[in-house]
Amino acid sequence: MITKLIRKNILKLKPYTSARDLYSNGILLDANENSFGSSFQELEELHLNRYPDPHQVDLRNAVSRLLTIDAEKLFFGVGSDEIIDLLIRIFCEPREDQVMLLEPTYGMYKVACDINNVETVSPLLNDSFQIDFAEVEKYYSDKVKIIFVCSPNNPTGNLLNKNDIIQLCRNYNSIVVVDEAYIDFAPEETSLINEVANYPNLVVMRTFSKAWGLAGVRLGYCAADEEIISYLFKVKAPYNINALTRYAVLKSITNEEKKKSAVSSIVSERLRVEIELKNILAITNVYPSDANYLLIRLPNAKEIQKELAVKGIVIRDRSSQPTLSNCLRITIGTKEENDALLEKLKDILPLRH
Ligand code: PMP
């Protein structure tokens, strides 16, 4: 089934073979590197004058142990944004195939499709921001090669029902990409990562940018059937993951406690901020969230966002997204940051009595 979905030119592709594919030890005179060393004086043990491992071996092994998932089912990208782009390039023939987006959702899926000249079809989520299968049916055809599902969904914050996503994998002859960028802020059993062993058309994406606090290092990954993983390796840039990123992530993984404590603080702050926001009269909706942000709806959202920015508090206006008129997205920060947000908001808007 997967082979049928892959673009013909990618099926035939002979990938670039890099110097480090065959040998990585010995007197290395094969890659036109600088044997005199790097002009960056710190972290000499990283040998930054050398190209990094194209096979991502250490990262695959470390995340494999962390998640108890086969290393062969893992692929790493420069943020999950790179993986989104690579998947579109593997499966979607420009100007012929389509990608299905369940709106409102993360904006980068559409941008990546536009860059690749791939048309999108956009059924709306229902009033609870869950999959509306009647809508999906309206837009589905065999041109749809990928369905992107974001769970917890950005910017609405809610998890999508796991059974609905499995239904998509079972009933549609397309790749189903589940973006779990925010899954660490949701209960553990809600992830679909273990289902990749059961559904060859399922890809689950994750990132180190959120719960792990490593947005600056740019590392995302996905878990999928080995066949999909093999094509991701074929189309990626030869050395997509750099040595500094690898170093930072391998070190962070040994400090999972820090991640867990950040997640637990964010989740308890999310609850506190949610309650406080509900006390503000003008806010008509504070949507339930399983992520590290809250979506709110209130009149004159754009103006409120601007007023907050003048007061030094920066939040995101999501009003232009389908069905999200007058909606703002607020990232949960530290207690002090959240207090500052609430204080400035209350300066602008009256409280409930
Ligand atoms: N998916 C979602 C749902 C996101 O919100 C983001 C970042 N805003 C990404 C993916 C991209 O993450 P990364 O930093 O790994 O590229």
With both helix axes pointing from N to C terminus, report the angle between 79-91 and 108-115 in degrees, rounded to the nearest 10. Answer: 50
What's the fold here for domain 257-348? Aspartate Aminotransferase, domain 1 (3.90.1150)
How many angstroms is it from 282 CA to the middle of ligand 1?
A: 30
Q: What is the pLDDT of residue 352?
A: 77
Percent of the chain with pLDDT over 70: 100
pLDDT at 333 over 80: yes
Residue nearest atom 8 in ligand 1 by C-alpha distance: 106
By DSSP bridging, strand 202-207 and strand 293-297 are unpaired
Which atom from ligand 1 is nearest to the alpha carbon of 106? 3
Give the pLDDT confidence score for residue 22 in this predicted structure. Answer: 84
* Residue from 159, 209, 217 to probe ligand 1 pocket by mutation (most atoms less than 8 Å from CB): 209
Predicted pLDDT of residue 129:
98
Q: What is the pLDDT of residues 83-132, one digit of tens each?
A: 999 999 999 999 999 999 999 999 999 999 999 999 999 999 999 999 99
Centre of ligand 1 to C-alpha 205, Å, is 9
Of 207, 239, 32, 214, residue with least CA distance to 108? 207
- Is the full-model pTM beyond 0.75? yes
Give mean pLDDT, residues 223-228: 98
Sign of CA dihedral 189, 191, 194, 199: positive
Q: Ligand 1 pocket check: which of 76, 78, 108 to mutate, most ligand atoms within 8 Å of Cβ? A: 108
Ligand 1 center to 180 CA (angstroms): 9
Task: Please state the atom number of ligand 1 nearest to the C-alpha of residue 154.
Answer: 3
Give residue 178 CA to ligand 1 midpoint distance, Å. Answer: 12
Q: What is the average pLDDT value for the chain, to the nearest integer?
A: 97
Render pLDDT for 30-84 as a digit per residue (tens, 0 to 9).
999 999 999 999 999 999 999 999 999 999 999 999 999 999 999 999 999 999 9
312 pLDDT band, cuts 50/70/90, is very high
> Residue 83 belongs to what H/E stretch?
helix 79-91
Alpha carbon of 110 to ligand 1 centroid (Å) = 13
Instruction: Give residue 81 CA to ligand 1 midpoint distance, Å.
Output: 6
Q: Which atom of ligand 1 is nearest to the CA of 84?
A: 10
Mean pLDDT across 171-198: 97
Residue 350 predicted with pLDDT over 90: no
Ligand 1 nearest-atom number relative to CA 210: 14
pLDDT at 353 over 70: no
The least confident of 17-26, 131-140, 269-278, 316-325 is 17-26
Q: Which residues pair with 203 in a beta bridge?
A: 177, 224
Cα of 204 vs centre of ligand 1, distance in Å, is 13
Task: Report, as an integer, the average pLDDT of 18-28.
Answer: 87
Task: Tell me the two tokens of residue 322.
Answer: 């389908």
Q: Whose CA is nearest to atom 16 of ligand 1?
A: 79
Q: Name the residue of 59, 63, 75, 81 whose CB sits within 8 Å of the most ligand 1 atoms, as the mutation to test its pocket.
A: 81
In the reported structure, the alpha carbon of residue 262 is separated from the centroid of ligand 1 by a whole-number distance in angstroms of 18
Phi-psi region at 37: left, alpha or beta (left = phi > 0; alpha = psi -120 to 50): left
In the structure encoding, which two tokens stand for residue 2, read together?
A: 């997967």
List residues near ligand 1 (CB under 6 A). 79-81, 106, 150, 154, 179, 181, 207, 209, 215, 220
Farthest CA pair distance, the chain: 76
pLDDT tens-digit readout, 232-287? 999 999 999 999 999 999 999 999 999 999 999 999 999 999 999 999 999 999 99
**Residue whose CA lies nearest to ligand 1 atom number 2:** 181
Atom of ligand 1 nearest to the CA of 182: 3
Q: Select 2-18+54-254's CATH number: 3.40.640.10, 3.90.1720.10, 3.10.20.30, 3.40.50.2300.
A: 3.40.640.10
Measure 33 CA to ligand 1 centroid, in angstroms. 33
Question: In which residue are the tokens 């993951």 written?
Answer: 241
**239: Cβ contacts below 8 Å, ≥ 6 apart:** 18, 20, 51, 52, 54
Q: Supply the pLDDT for residue 142.
A: 96
CA of 15 to the centre of ligand 1 (A): 27
Domain boundary assignment for the chain: 2-18+54-254, 257-348
Distances from the Cα of 22 to the Cα of 25, 30, 55, 156, angstroms: 10, 10, 11, 46
**3 state DSSP class of 337:** helix
